Amino acid sequence: MDRRNDRALRARAEVVIPGGMFGHQSTALLPDDYPQYFVKAKGAHLWDADGGKVLDLMCAYGPNLFGYGDEAIDAAFIAQLRQGDTLTGPAPVMVELAETLVDMVGHADWALFCKNGGDATTMALTVARAQTRRKTVIRARGAYHGSTPWCTPRTAGVLESDRAHQILCDYNDVASLEAAVAEAGDDLAAIFAAPFRHDAFIDQAEPEAAYAARARELCDRTGALLVLDEVRAGFRLSRDCSWSHLGVEPDLSTWGKGLANGHALSALLGSDSARKGAEAIYATGSFWYQAAPMAASLEVLRRIRETDYLERLETLGERLASGLSERADAAGFGFRITGPGQMPLFLFDEDPDLRKGFFWSSAMLAKGVYVHPWHNMFLCDAMTEADIDQALDAAEASFAELRAAAPGLAPVAKMAFLSQTR
């Protein structure tokens, strides 16, 4: 693959951006032939800096829910931008958006808006502590709730004090949750939970009904608040909170990513059980009242309510998972597809440094399909059955290439840390 333009951009970036790139979109832990830069996007497709076009199964790590450059959503954004966006106060669209979210999300009685998913999770933390006048929060080991010091997964520059009054438990492990609650004693402010286990590098796991129900019971018993972190999964699994099908409602839920289909908007939703805490805290931002992303979000939410996008995502996800499973079996690979169909993660059996995963992902990319070797992916409503079939054809050929290459695959040095830490 010709990566001349991408390499040139990387070389320039090495000079003016620490490490050449930062954060979750860095390709540092991806196969070497992955492009770092993209110059164009439409629907379910991306164009890299060297003219390559790919079907994008990452969807911008989540924000792309209805397709890149969706005409109606962007038209709503631009119309509001022309009217007024970042002003000296909010626009009426903020009230309409809060009302709409409160109507759509079962537990929600109110909304606060912000820019990052981490703004919402940090506000949830602060609201819970203000509401309960307690300090301790429980979260699952390895779960991602943002990159602010209290929860960032890489802790250079972070102090122990930034993470004081936290107890870690194991996701889906009722006993470890109960032990954490016991350890918190009478100081438990909140239990944080992801809607399912979507940690990087490991198999995803659906939430166990008993775990979700126990989290709710323990909060009720202790007067703590249950926080469901929907930033990554929100509205991809449900038109309500992701645990509503389990009959479990949180006190606080955090939203971002696809909420405005890629426009910068996140939100903290809360029940009346947390309203006083929300009134007490002070959190704000220069762009938190931007009207244009809110107008875009109203169109996103209308689409969520009025179309069969969710059933389409489920059907596409099932088609992808079953088709991949068949093809992996036929090629003789243990290939684990975990998590919800519309947010799958792929891992090969017996692949501690991901050499199989890297080879196969690179082969997919060469056939025009962008997959991620260790992070969950995302489907979007702009995808078609033909797109999924393209991915399956690419997968079949890539499994065959891997079958031929497997005996001689070199170790992936940069992923060796995985076998050391697991």
- Using CB under 8 A as the binding rule, the residues of this chain from 218 to 237 that contact a copy of itself are 231
- 241 lies in the site for a copy of itself, by CB under 8 A: no
Minimum Å gap between C-beta 157 and a copy of itself is 3
If the CB atoms of residues 117 and 340 are measured against a copy of itself, the closer one turns out to be 117
Q: Which stretch binds a copy of itself (CB under 8 A): 94-102, 216-224, 328-336, 338-346?
A: 94-102
Q: Which residues of 272-303 are buried (b: 16+ CB within 10 A; e: fewer)?
A: ebbeebbeebeeeeeebbbbbbbbbbbbbbeb
If the CB atoms of residues 164 and 210 are measured against a copy of itself, the closer one turns out to be 164
Residue window 254-293: x/- pattern of binding to a copy of itself, with contact defined by CB under 8 A: --xx----xxx-x---x----x-xxxxxxxxxxxxxx--x
Contacts 24+ apart (CB under 8 A), 108-111: 108/253, 108/269, 108/270, 108/271, 109/270, 109/271, 109/272, 109/275, 110/269, 110/270, 110/272, 110/275, 110/278, 111/267, 111/268, 111/269, 111/270
362 beta partners: none
Contact present, 167 and 180 (Cβ < 8 Å)? yes
Interactions with a copy of itself, residue window 111-150 (CB under 8 A)? 111-112, 115-119, 122, 125-131, 135, 147-150
E strand or H helix at 17, and its extent?
none
Interactions with a copy of itself, residue window 355-374 (CB under 8 A)? 370
Minimum Å gap between C-beta 213 and a copy of itself is 27
- 195 lies in the site for a copy of itself, by CB under 8 A: no
- 9 lies in the site for a copy of itself, by CB under 8 A: yes
If the CB atoms of residues 135 and 239 are measured against a copy of itself, the closer one turns out to be 135
Contact present, 300 and 258 (Cβ < 8 Å)? yes
Q: Which stretch binds a copy of itself (CB under 8 A): 102-110, 176-184, 203-211, 325-333?
A: 102-110
- 380 lies in the site for a copy of itself, by CB under 8 A: no
Sign of CA dihedral 401, 403, 406, 407: negative
- 95 lies in the site for a copy of itself, by CB under 8 A: yes
Minimum Å gap between C-beta 410 and a copy of itself is 25
- 164 lies in the site for a copy of itself, by CB under 8 A: yes
User: With CB under 8 A, what is the number of residues at the site for a copy of itself?
Assistant: 113
- 62 lies in the site for a copy of itself, by CB under 8 A: yes
Phi, psi of 216 (to 5 degrees): -65, -45
The alpha carbons of the chain give a radius of gyration, in whole angstroms, of: 22
Interactions with a copy of itself, residue window 306-365 (CB under 8 A)? none
Minimum Å gap between C-beta 208 and a copy of itself is 28
- 64 lies in the site for a copy of itself, by CB under 8 A: yes
Counts for the chain of helices (H) and strands (E), in that order = 12, 13
Q: Which stretch binds a copy of itself (CB under 8 A): 161-169, 310-318, 385-393, 406-414?
A: 161-169
DSSP calls for 19-78 = GGS-GGG--TTS-TTS-S-EEEEEBTEEEETTS-EEEESSGGGTT-SS-BT-HHHHHHHH
